[in-house]
Amino acid sequence: MKKRVLLGMSGGVDSSVSALLLKKAGYEVIGATMRLWEDEERPEVEGGCCSFSAVYDAKRVCDKIGIPHYTIDCRAEFKKRVIDDFITCYKCARTPNPCIECNKYLKFDVFYQKALELKCEYISTGHYARVEFSEKYNSYLLKKSLATKKDQTYFLYSINKEILPKLIFPLNNFKEKSEIRKIAEENGLAVAKKPDSQEVCFIPENNYVVFLENNMNEKMNEGNIVLKDGTVLGKHKGLIYYTIGQRKGIGVSYKEPLYVLKLDKEKNEVVVGTEKELYSNYLYAEELNFLLDIDISSPIDVKAKIRYRAKEADAKLIKVSDKQVKVEFVEPQRAITPGQSVVFYIDDIVLGGGKII
């Protein structure tokens, strides 16, 4: 009897080829697209992972390869877990990563529960990552993709480790995106040349400021732009308009270039300074999630990644409490940003991660 798998389909080439590979591997594949977000004034985000065109493209692929397709309405949960969290973080002067929240609560939680309802033994997505059983650790591990430039494990650290044995990443052995597109083209999939989505699905034109202006239920108040010593240089128009590491558009003059160092919610201040002051050799993180059971009661050496596009850096992971860790870097890191996630690696294994505070 074929093992049944529920595959999350975004309408893109990665999940489409994943469907094809799963079917060829002998699984009974059910394709499903999560309906997450709709903007009544602008319902289409071209290439977005939850637009009407995404559903249409996913259905076309499923028809082509001969598997069923379902649409799962998750709009209420998405608003609560992702959109509301996004807005709340900015209100608190933090910079969120909505894709991480979506993976945690929607794509690897709600979706898994739907798989159980459909009597599926596995769930699958087109993410670039690997799940393997380790004899050394006697457990399933999340590991980095062989396609190092496409590796997406940074976005997956927050999922429940209990579902790792039930996860299949069909693209786990590919090293280049061109290989995926070639398979799609050879098999006549209409999405073979479809561009990758580059936007947050609910942020039109990737303009988060306009989204916040239209959806926050409170007015942004002006405040001071200050140096670290408290010297006032000018006025800011609201904290949501500034980002850690920002140089352009600060709106004050100084004897050398200035960068945003900190957004102080309590004082309603934008703290600025030189580029040298952007660097720090430590951070604290909470809201922790570990995918590997390993003793961290004593400091351990890890590679730490402070944002998706950042390079992994040598660091020590130090337990502060059951809910908080400190990360000390060998080399200072630029623009460490509260609200973003830090992810810890041991070789190619994802140890876990947490939210920077």
Q: Is residue 109 in a domain?
A: yes
> In the predicted model, what is the mean pLDDT of residues 49-76?
90
Give the residue numbers spanning the domain of 37: 4-206
Q: What is the pLDDT of residue 50?
A: 57
200 and 57 belong to one structural domain: yes
How, if at all, do strands 223-226 and 269-273 pair?
Answer: parallel
Q: Work out the number of other CB atoms within 10 angstroms of the CB of residue 160.
A: 12
183 and 251 belong to one structural domain: no
pLDDT of 47 above 50: no
Name, of 40-54, 101-115, 197-211, the range with top average pLDDT.
101-115
> In the predicted model, what is the mean pLDDT of residues 98-122?
97
169 and 282 belong to one structural domain: no
54 and 187 belong to one structural domain: yes
Distances (CA, A) of 163 to 116, 280, 312, 356: 12, 35, 26, 25
> In the predicted model, what is the mean pLDDT of residues 283-298?
97
Residue 30: CATH number of its domain: 3.40.50.620
Q: What is the pLDDT of residue 2?
A: 87
Q: What is the pLDDT of residue 51?
A: 64
Q: What is the pLDDT of residue 45?
A: 47
DSSP secondary structure string for all residues of 104-132: IIIIIIIHHHHHHHTT-SEEE---SEEEE
22 and 82 belong to one structural domain: yes
107 and 58 belong to one structural domain: yes
75 and 193 belong to one structural domain: yes
Q: In whole angstroms, give the CA distance from residue 240 to residue 209.
A: 7
pLDDT of 180 above 90: yes
pLDDT of 48 above 70: no
Q: What is the pLDDT of residue 42?
A: 47
Q: What is the pLDDT of residue 206?
A: 86
252 and 332 belong to one structural domain: no
Identify whether the C-beta of residue 19 lies closer than 8 Å to the C-beta of residue 136.
no
335 and 191 belong to one structural domain: no
Q: Is 89 a catalytic residue?
A: no
Looking at 206, 240, 265, the residue that finishes a domain is: 206
> In the predicted model, what is the mean pLDDT of residues 336-344?
98
> In the predicted model, what is the mean pLDDT of residues 343-351?
98
Q: Is residue 214 in a domain?
A: no
159 and 233 belong to one structural domain: no
- Looking at 189-287, list the stretches that DSSP marks H as alpha helix, in order from N- to C-terminal side: 208-215
> In the predicted model, what is the mean pLDDT of residues 42-70?
79
Residue 254: CATH number of its domain: 2.30.30.280
Here the tokens at position 152 are: 């997406």
Q: What is the pLDDT of residue 49?
A: 58
Q: Is 74 a catalytic residue?
A: no
Q: Is residue 213 in a domain?
A: no
Q: What is the pLDDT of residue 204?
A: 83
Number of domains in the chain: 3
Looking at 230, 250, 273, the residue that finishes a domain is: 273
113 and 238 belong to one structural domain: no
44 and 161 belong to one structural domain: yes
Going across the sheet that includes 259-264, the strands are 232-236, 223-226, 269-273, 259-264
Q: What is the pLDDT of residue 39?
A: 55
Q: What is the pLDDT of residue 219?
A: 85
> In the predicted model, what is the mean pLDDT of residues 218-231?
94
Average pLDDT value over all residues in the chain: 94
